[in-house]
Amino acid sequence: MTQWQPIETAPKYQEVLGWAYGQYVLCWWVKGKDFEGWTTGWETAGGYDVGYSPVSPTHWMPLPEEPQ
């Protein structure tokens, strides 16, 4: 089993399992025109894209293998 690691050691630009706000989150690092940081997805409001859903994980681990 992989151990939790500090978020500062996480690979950027790929999905990882993060620990934030007392729960597991699927997150990845993005760098865009108006945002750079960890996110859990893309926000929409009223049918319009409004930006990323920022998250502040403290730890991470790789995602498990997909089921066969």
Kindly list the domain boundaries of the chain, sorted by start residue: 23-57
The two structure tokens encoding residue 34: 């108006």
pLDDT of 1 higher than 70: no
Mean pLDDT of all residues in 14-43: 89
For residue 47, pLDDT over 90 is answered with no
- Over residues 36-47, mean pLDDT: 79
Give the integer Cα–Cα distance in Å for 28 and 37: 8
Mean pLDDT of 25-37: 88
Structure tokens at 25: 């989150």
Token pair recorded at residue 48: 């319009």
Strand boundaries in 1-68, DSSP class E? 5-6, 16-20, 23-31, 36-45, 48-54, 59-61
pLDDT tops 70 at residue 49: no
Say what the pLDDT of residue 12 is: 92
Does 50 score more than 80 pLDDT?
Answer: no
User: In the block, which residue shows the tokens 């999905």?
Assistant: 15
